[in-house]
Every structure is written in structure tokens, then in C-alpha cells.
Amino acid sequence: MTKYGSFPGARPRRLRTTPAMRRMVAEHRLHPADLILPAFVREGVAEPVPISAMPGVVQHTRDTLRKAAVEAVEAGVAGIMLFGVPEDDKKDARGTAGTDPDGILQCAIRDVRAEVGDDLVIMSDLCLDEYTDHGHCGVLDADGRVDNDATLERYAEMAQVQADAGVHVVGPSGMMDGQIGVVRDALDQTGHEDVSILAYTAKYSSAFYGPFREAIGSSLKGDRKTYQQDPGNLRESLRELALDLEEGADMVMVKPALPYLDVLAKLADSVEVPVAAYQISGEYAMVEAAAEKGWIDRDKAILEMLTGIKRAGANMILTYWATEVARGL
């Protein structure tokens, strides 16, 4: 006894005494195979184009994308998610470049598949926003609104050309009602039964997408609130989850990651399929900007954020730091 009472019998600090002890009892660990690298490939450029809001990230040429894919494989990264950036004069109201077999994304898929084969899971963004002159994720009707069902027809075409190019996984990201079922049917009917679907199940209308708009050269005017989810809603994501699974999703995703860890945890507790989270451009940019100012320890902040996403239930994390972090791990 002391004058302050009994000494504690339970001492959780015993399990924090040394780095080896902390490592041994860690409940969650990052592994390179948890990570997926999002990558942008731009048509018609001879050198990589830096993205000003995302220091260290570039719009690749086809050649530098091949190199980035090889580096990801060597680091042990599980997959790469490809986004195509067409030349401005190839954008139109229907996003025609997105379904052109020789469009930049389809060329990039073939390039990466030829370079690394099955050593890296090759994923592709299945959406029209990169290719439309209005910047929306779908076809517009006469009143300028996104036409859900007309857009589904375009997504079916995109699924086929991306699968023909050799992709392993398509990622329908436009948040159209019924998109997973239509894409699954399109793949199955064209002999691509083995191509998986990563459903962007809970994709929120977020302020953190800003740097991404630069990365894909977006032409968007206005917002996407009529099809992306409202940040205040959680039950809505569970409804989207049930629909995606019923329509044939092989994996599901929450995007963004950090502001929606509660949603991620809820979905992870509710399903038996793999769950992904996308650590998006704004999350990346905040850390890089604060680190550049000397306000935070960059490397520790990156690992802490990724560990938090893993702890919340993500089996896979899309992050622009994937190769760097995998090398460190």
C-alpha cells in the first residue's frame, strides 16, 4: 500500500516496453500485399507530368507506367488501379475514348499486362468522367442531368473493352444504380467470366477529391451530388452494399477512407467478401503539404493512417504511397 492506494495489479504497459514486445503483440499489421497503387497514364506526352497538388505523383507516359508496374511488383504490392487521361480533343459528350479499344486506358492495360503478366493484379477504373467533355461520370439527358440507364449501356461497353485488353479487375466507380449487375452481365456474355468486379459501394461526395480532378484533367463543372452519396448517411451505404452483392460484386470498397472509417468498419462487419478502402488524393495531399511545412513527421503519419484504415476492417488499401510503403515494410 502507498498513501495513494494500492499499486495496480493489471499493467498493460508491460506489453509496450520494447519495440520487439510491441511488434509481437500488435493486433494489426500492414503488409505489402494489402496495398494497391492507383496510377494515371496520360495520352500524348513524352515525359511524366507532375501533379502539382500531389507531390511525388505524376501522370505517366506509357513507358514510365510500365516501369512503375515493375517497381510495384518488386516491392510486393498486390495490385495497380489504372486511370486513363485522354487528350482534350478526344473528349466528347459520350466519353467515346473510354470505349475505344485503342483508347489510352485500354493501351495501358495491355502495356502493363505485357510487362508484368499475372504478377500484379491489374485493375481499371470503369467510369466516363475522364473521357467526357462535361466531366460527369455518365451520359447527360436533354436537361443536363446524368441519365442513369443510358450510362449503364456505356459502362457495359467499357467493361468489354477493358476485359478484352487483359484487365483482371474492373472498378465501376460512377455510382449509377444497377451498374454492378450490368457490368457482370456484359463480362459474362462476352466470355470474361473470370474478370472480377471491385464495386465502389460507398463512394461519397467529398471535398477531398480536389487533387484527383487535376490528376485526370477533369472537365467537371458543378458537382456529383445526385449520384455520389451524401456524407451524412450511413444506412444508405448498407443498402448500396446489399444491392452490389446481389448484383454480383466480388469485392466492395469505401471511398474516401479516413473520413469514413465508421462506414468501412460497418461494411467490413457485414460481409464475407474482401473489403477495400481508397485513401484518396486529398488525404495524400494533406500529409505531403503538412510534412513539407515541417508540421508533422511524414513517414510516421503515413503508416499511422494506413494502420488505422487496416484496423477499421480494410483487406486492401488503395494508396498513392503503395510502392514506397511496401518497400519500407
User: Catalytic residues, which ones?
Assistant: 203, 255
Give 293-308 as a DSSP string: TTSS-HHHHHHHHHHH
Q: Count the neighbouring beta carbons within 10 Å of the beta carbon of residue 242.
A: 13
Using DSSP, state whether 229 is helix, strand or coil: strand
- Cell triple for 27: 493486433
Phi first, then psi, for residue 84 (nearest 5°) are: -95, 140
DSSP 262: H
Residue 2 corresponds to which cell in the numbers above?
Answer: 502507498
CB atoms within 10 A of CB 21: 12
Q: What is the dihedral of CA 159, 165, 167, 170, to 10 degrees?
A: -20
In DSSP terms, 39 is beta-bridged to: 82
